[in-house]
Amino acid sequence: MSGYLRHRRITGLGLLIAVLVAFAASPLFAQGLYYKEIPKDGRLYVFNDAAEAARFEKSGEMGKSITKLGAGQNGETLVGDSERALQLYFFKHGMSEAVPEPPPPPPPAAPPFKISGLVFGDYYYFLGSNSSTFNGQHGFTFRRIYFTYDHTFSPAVTTRFRLELNSNGKMASPTAAITPYIKDASVKWLYAGKQAVAVGILPTATFDFIENFYGLRHIEKTPVDLYKIDSSRDFGITFSGPITDDGALQYTAQYGNDSGSTSEIDKYKSFRVALRYVTNPGFVAEGFFAYQTRALAATRTIAQVFVGYQSPQVKAGLQYVHNNRQPANNTTNAATNINVYSGFVNWFAKPNKFSVFGRVDHSGANPDVNGIDYLPLYNKAPFTLGIVGVEYYILPSLRVSPNVEFTHYGTPLAGATAPAKNDIACRLTFYWSW
């Protein structure tokens, strides 16, 4: 008989240890094993929270509770302050009533802000250049460093502040320390569903969608930005959003200073509008038009068409840009028309591991291209620029890209001499973001 009792005590002790272990593994174990029963008005109130029990004894009212009719040992109604309180009651009285586990606590709310950054640059070597300053030059350079702060005021209102830093894009004296300046500073409001209005220093509609689709900004800029046809940023107001319910048809309309990210100093402005069709995966298309005013009634218009295809294995795109520049009044300068044709393909041989890319641009003579940072081109002849390279993903956000950029010049404009050399720039581009 004594052996039987000893066996029951050992079994009971083991059961108690098992229950305690189960409680300890529970996320509610932080409440401890506090337990109290309070009979009142024919009901039995059970508590696992000392503060709740004290409040009930003082006010006679329960907060959040769980009621089980006739579940008590003597058929009384049980009211528990939690699932754990009911479990403790049934365990204490040796009852096998099942009580579901309490729901897990909700995940912590996301912070209202996000800090991110991006860095890319190269070890470059100019095998040939139309510029004697660049010819044979080589070395390390940071082409862009971004530091971005995004803040969410509410689901409908957000703001962005971004600093940009870069090395001397002329790669010539005088040298200067890398200095930050404001790249983006804007506030955005979502209204009427997914319609949006944004005010501040913003990406321009000229290149924003195409650059994001292209995905190789760290290798080279897109044509409109690279060839100084339009700025990548403007201080103004932008309206954008879907036109159709499925979001495939979209628009962007922008009115700005036409002064880039600098302060406004004149009365001349810019208007840009884009209409696009987007599927992912699948085809995309965009039509764009911009009208910009200058001093003495000079104007610039930009029209471009872009079509592309995207899938997990490949991205490809074709772009045509027409830039008309009307001269100022009382001058003998002729109107300038610049046509640019561009195509690229990026094949993700092993997605997030290895890709191969290529791009070809052809442009008429452009008077501004000799001022391009990191790649000054000859501005008095049409040219064809090609880019080929591969990209190795050490991590999805850490990449190394050997690539070559080469430029071949056509027949110079009347009265201009041919450039001394075509351009060949070899680069080992590095990129990381967080």
DSSP output for 141-192: EEEEEEEEEEEEEETTEEEEEEEEE---TT--SSP-----EEEEEEEEEEET
Q: Considering the domain 113-433, what is its CATH architecture?
A: Beta Barrel (2.40)
Stretch 411-426: mean pLDDT, rounded? 95
User: What is the pLDDT at residue 32?
Assistant: 55
User: What is the pLDDT at residue 96?
Assistant: 84
Stretch 323-348: mean pLDDT, rounded? 95
* Whole-Å CA distances, 160 to 65, 157, 191, 203: 44, 11, 18, 12
User: What is the pLDDT at residue 172?
Assistant: 79
Rg of the chain on CA atoms, in Å? 34
Nearest to 315 by CA among 345, 282, 288: 345
Per-residue pLDDT reduced to its tens digit, 131-164: 888 999 999 999 999 999 999 999 999 999 999 9
Per-residue pLDDT reduced to its tens digit, 78-117: 999 999 999 999 989 989 887 877 778 889 888 999 999 9
- What is the rounded CA–CA span in Å between residue 34 and residue 84? 10
90 close to 99: Cβ distance less than 8 angstroms: yes
141 close to 121: Cβ distance less than 8 angstroms: yes
What the block records as the tokens of 36 is 């109290």
> Does the pLDDT of residue 231 top 80, yes or no?
yes
Stretch 183-197: mean pLDDT, rounded? 97
User: What is the pLDDT at residue 76?
Assistant: 93
Q: pTM for the whole thing? A: 0.79
- Ranges of CATH 2.40.160.10 domains, the chain: 113-433
- Confidence category of residue 5, pLDDT binned at 50, 70, 90: very low
Nearest to 121 by CA among 423, 401, 425: 401
**Comparing 68-82, 212-226, 358-372, which segment has the lowest mean pLDDT?**
68-82
What the block records as the tokens of 61 is 């009212």
Mean pLDDT of the chain: 91
User: What burial letters (b/e) apply to 141-156, b meaning 16+ CB within 10 Å?
Assistant: bebbbbbbebeeeeee
Stretch 333-361: mean pLDDT, rounded? 97
> Does the pLDDT of residue 26 top 70, yes or no?
no
